[in-house]
Chains A and B, each alone.
Chain A
Amino acid sequence: MSGDEAGILPAGTPAPDFELHATPDQLVSLRDFRGKRVILAFYPADWSPVCGDQMALYNEVLPEFHKLGAELVGISVDGAWCHAAFAHDRKLHFPLLADFEPKGAVARAYHAYREKDGHSERALFVIDGDGIIRWSYRSPVGVNPGADGILEALEALRDGDRGS
């Protein structure tokens, strides 16, 4: 399933900028990452079992993402305090951003919001150092998409750099 079929923003699209709370007193924006690759992992909610597995898995794969020059951020509509509790409980080593007010605005900008459910899709975006989406993938909401697609996308970016 490609991003195009799913309706989420496809590869080649400039990634919409955003500024969201990572903690109650810290804001993170996409422009902060200029020059670096970023993985945006939209997920429906903290604490739900599949999300937990997905974030726990990415937490373990984090060194591989870093080796490929990428930073990871998770995004859901949960508030910053909820994220703080969840990240603490799962010992996460990457930021969770709160797409909380106005609710789901960033997910909407990436065409990854589920209006009738009131939360985001389970959607992945790999963004290059120039702020262009280079890969996107939407998983069924109940299915943890794993990390293999992200790694392949990052490797393709790396190999593209080498080739040019």
Chain B
Amino acid sequence: MKARQQGILQPPVHAGDHAAGRADAPVTLLEYGDFQCPHCYRAHPIVLALQKKLGERLRFVFRNFPLAEIHPEALHAAEAAESVAAQAGETAYWAMHHAIFEHQQDAFDALDDAHLVRYAKKAGADAARVKKDLGGGAYVERVRSDFLSGVRSGVNGTPTFFINGRRFEGDWSDPNAFATALEAAAQTSAA
């Protein structure tokens, strides 16, 4: 059996991914995340701060990795975000993405379907269509495909980050260490 290549993103970032930032940015940070995961909730403002700090040098990509049995609303949250992206575009997707994380801890029902539809509408999507997409499971396959790509890439929990396609083994909850790793990747990439 061939030696296992661990910690490599498979497949690499592609056109179907949700990406914020320039495609030619020297650093691509990719997160496998779960919208109902409390650790991802904690990581969200850290990522926002990194985006601000690195500016155009950073592209941020998010792939879904819902652990649906322990986070029963994670799947619908991911599907709702996909529905928003499909009908209203990437800017709307990111508005929805931020809204879900920002509201995650508001109340016990912050991620139920009624709230998800509300966030989606505010992000610029059609409420009826989001409801229909959730009811019909229109984006179940898309979300599962993200999840399985994570499994193939060795993701074992959320959040897991990849910097320029390699798994970030450091401590994401330390903003300075995280920023240092991104800066180093930017230097390597530019060299």
Contact = CB atoms under 8 A, between A and B. Distances in A.
Grouping DSSP codes into helix (H, G, I), strand (E, B) and loop, the B interface class, with mixed when no group exceeds half, is loop
Contacts of A53: 156-157
A74 interface: no
Interface stretch (B54-62, B114-122, B144-152, B182-190): B144-152
Interface residues of B, number: 17
Interface string B146-166: 011001111111000000000
B152 A151 contact: yes
Interface residues of A, number: 24
10 contacts: A11-B1, A56-B69, A57-B67, A57-B151, A57-B156, A60-B67, A90-B69, A92-B69, A135-B1, A152-B1
B67 A56 contact: yes
A148 B153 contact: yes
B4 interface: yes
Interface of A: 11, 53-54, 56-57, 59-61, 64, 90-93, 135, 144-149, 151-153, 156
Nearest to B71: A56
B68 interface: yes
